[in-house]
Amino acid sequence: MNHSVLIELRTEELPPKSLKALSESFASSVFAALKEQAFASAASVCIPYATPRRLALMVTDVAAQQPDRILEKKGPAVSSGVDAAGKPTRALEGFMRSVGVGFEQLQKAGDGKAEYFVARTEKKGEGLDTHLADIVTQALKKLPIQKVMRWGDSEHQFVRPVHGLILLHGSRVVAGEVLGLRSGNKTLGHRFLSSGEIVVATPEDYAANLAAGKVLVSFAERRASIAAQLEAKARELDATINRADGLLDEVSSLVEWPVVYVGEFEAEYLEVPQECLILTMQQNQKYFPLLDSAGKLLNKFLIVSNMQVDDPKHIIGGNARVVRPRLSDARFFFNQDRRNTLASRLDKLGSVVYHNKIGSVLQRVERLETLAQKIAVHLGANASLAARAARLSKADLVTDMVGEFPELQGIMGRYYALHDGEDQAVADAVQSHYQPRFAGDALPQGNIACAAALADKLDALAGFFGIGQIPTGDKDPFGLRRAALGVLRILMEAPLPLDLRQLLGEAASGFAPDLLSLSDGLPAHLEDFMFDRLRGLLKDAGHAQDVVEAVLAQHPYRIDLVPAKLDAVRAFLALPEALALAAANKRIGNILKKAEGAAGNGFAQPDPARLQEAAEQALYERVQEIAPVVAAHVASEAYADALKALASVRAEVDHFFDKVMVNVDDPAVRANRLGLLKALFDQLNAVADISKLGV
C-alpha cells in the first residue's frame, strides 16, 4: 500500500548560512530519485524540513513496491551498429553486453533524424527497503558542501557529525544504514526545552511531535514565525526594522524554537555613525536594529532567541553585555580615525596593491583624479571639486573602521570628509562613487558624484581589459560586468550628455602605453563589451529584441539618447508603412554592399540630369524633400518625428523597385541610381537600422 515516507538525519549544528540550500538540495534529490525509481507517484508531494540540528523531509503517496517496468535504453545508430555484412560492430556488441541482451532482442527506433538500436528489458519491481537508504546516501553526496569532516573513529564523512536516522514508511521502520547509522523512528527535541527521546509513530505525526518537543521543524514556518514576531515587537515600539540581506534566513537557521525579545544599549553610542552600529549588530550579533520614523537608529534592537522563558531578563541582559564591547570598538575606531584627515592618509595608499600589473591604489587615485576632472569639464561641472572627490575616494580604505568593516568603504569616507571640512559635494561623491553597486541600486546624485563614479568604473574597465583580464563565461573576479552596467546606467538614467567612445579613450589614456598589453585594440574591445552589456540591460528592461538591435546597430555613443530612440522605433513599428520600409531598407543595404567594391571611393551624389525613369525622379525629389526635415528632427532629438517623416517615402520606394532596374549596363546610370539609393539609405538609418526590425 502507499504511505508517506519520512526521512530525518539528525546532526550537530549545521552551517547556518548553508542550511536552507542544504535542505532544498536534499529534498529535491530524494524526491527526484523516488519518482525516477517509480516509488513516488504523480500525486506525491515533498515537504522539506530543516533545523540547525536536522535535515528531514516527508514525501506523500509512496509505494512499498515498485511496479514491474519496461526499461528502454538507446544504443548506437543503425548505420554504425552493423557492418556491411549486417554483423554487429564492436560498438553494438559492447552495448549489448552492457544491457544483457542478444542481437535478436534489439529493436530499432528513430527520432526523425537517424535510426538507432534500442534495448527494451523487463524489470521486476523491488521493495522500498532495497533502495531507500541508498537514495538517501546518494542525495547526501550531492549536497552543496565545500568541506566535510570525520568524527570519532568513523570513516564516514559529512558536513557535521551525525547522531540519528529515521526512515519511516507509514508506521513501519524501513531498515537501512546511512553514514554508519541504523534507521529507527526516534529523534530528539529542543536541546534545553525538551527531554528524552521522541517516538515518531507516522510521518504525518512528525511535525506535531517535534512541536511538542519545542522544535518548529519547518524552515519556512519558522522563518515566517520569526518575521511575524519581529514585526509585532517593532510595532509595539513604534519603530521599523533595519533589514539585511540574508539575515532572516541565517537567524532561522540558528534557532529551533524562536522567541523575539527587545534589547537595549546605552544612548551614548548613537554618536557613532549609525551604519557602523547597524553593521556590527547585524554581522557580529545577528540582531535586528530598530529605526524611528525618520530613519534614525534607536538604542534598541530585537533579539531572536532559541529559549522561551517566563522572565527573559537574563537573556536580554546577557545580550546587552555581549553587544556593548562591539559598540565600544566601533566608537573607538570612529574616534581614532578622525584624528587624521583623509588627505593625510593618501601616502599609505602607495603601499596598497591594486593589481600587480597595474600598480598601487595611490597610482589609481591619481588616474581617477585626472579622469574625473575631464568628465566634469564635459559636464560643465566644477572640475576642481570632481578632482578632489576622486582624490579622496579611496582614502578611507586605510582607516581602522573600514579595516574592520570593509562594507563601510565610501560611507565612512563621507563622514570623515565632512569632519575634515571638505565641500558637501565632495563628501557625498566620496560615498556615492561606488554606486550603483548592484542591479536596482541608486545612482550617484549630481555631476560631481557622477564624474567620480564614472571615473572609478571606467578606469577599472580600461585597466583590466588592457592587461587581458577580460571576463569569460561566469568568471568575472574584478566585477567588470557590474562596472560596465554602472557606467551605462549612469549615462542613460542620470542622464548625461557624454560620448561613450570618448570616455573609454580618456580612461585608457590614463595608463602608460607599455603597461597595457592590449593598448592598440583596447577601445574596440571595450566598446564591444559595453554594447553587449547595454543589449542585455535593455532586453531585461522589457524592450523587444528587434527594436534593441535596430538602435544598437548604429553604435550610439550617446547612451543618454538610447531610450528616446527605442521609443521612436517602437512608435515607428506601429505605422502601417514600417515593415515594408524595413524590408526595402534591407534590400537597399544588400544592393549597396554588393556594389561597394566597384564603387571605389564611395557612392557619388545622385545627379538629377541622369535620372531617366519617372519612378527614380519621384524618389529623388522625395528624398531631397525629406532630408532637411529628418536632419532637423534628429538634431533636435525628435526621433519619433524623424521616423514618421521617413514613413511617408514608402510609396516612392515601392514604385522605384517596381519600375527601375538598378544594375543596368550603362555604368553612369548605374552609379547614379546607386547614389540615389545611398542617399535614401542614409536617411532611413538616421535614427536606427530599421532593416533589423521584424519583417
pLDDT tens figures, 80-138: 888 888 899 999 999 999 888 899 889 888 877 789 899 988 878 889 999 999 999 99
Phi, psi at residue 311, to the nearest 5°?
-120, 100
Distance CA 249, CA 15 (A): 12
Per-residue pLDDT reduced to its tens digit, 633-643? 999 999 999 99
Q: Is the pLDDT of residue 521 over 80?
A: no
H or E element at residue 568: helix 562-573
The β-bridge partners of 353 are 360
pLDDT confidence tier of residue 413, bands split at 50, 70 and 90: very high
Amino acid (one-letter) located at 554: Q
Distance CA 397, CA 408 (A): 9
Percent of the chain scoring above 70 in pLDDT? 98
Q: Reduced to 3 states, what is the DSSP secondary structure of residue 215? A: coil
DSSP letter, residue 86:
S
Q: Are 346 and 395 in contact (CB under 8 A)?
A: yes
Q: Are 15 and 61 in contact (CB under 8 A)?
A: no
| Mean of pLDDT values over 61-77 | 89
pLDDT score at 513: 78
pLDDT score at 519: 60
pLDDT confidence tier of residue 604, bands split at 50, 70 and 90: confident
Q: Is the pLDDT of residue 631 over 60?
A: yes
Grid cell digits, residue 500: 561613450
Q: What is the pLDDT of the chain when averaged over all its residues?
A: 93
pLDDT score at 293: 94
Per-residue pLDDT reduced to its tens digit, 302-349? 999 999 999 999 999 999 999 999 999 999 999 999 999 999 999 999
Q: How far is CA 291 from CA 236, 238, 490, in A?
A: 13, 9, 30
Q: Are 452 and 494 in contact (CB under 8 A)?
A: no
pLDDT score at 597: 61
SS3 content of the chain, % helix, strand, coil (to 5): 55, 15, 30
Distance CA 597, CA 400 (A): 66
Q: Is the pLDDT of residue 599 over 60?
A: no
Distance CA 580, CA 658 (A): 13
Q: Is the pLDDT of residue 508 over 60?
A: yes
Distance CA 396, CA 406 (A): 10
Q: Are 603 and 673 in contact (CB under 8 A)?
A: no
pLDDT score at 612: 87
- String of DSSP letters for 499-536: BHHHHHHHHHHTS-GGG-TTTTTHHHHHHHHHHHHHHH
Q: Are 385 and 373 in contact (CB under 8 A)?
A: no
Distance CA 560, CA 534 (A): 12
Per-residue pLDDT reduced to its tens digit, 33-50? 999 999 999 999 999 999
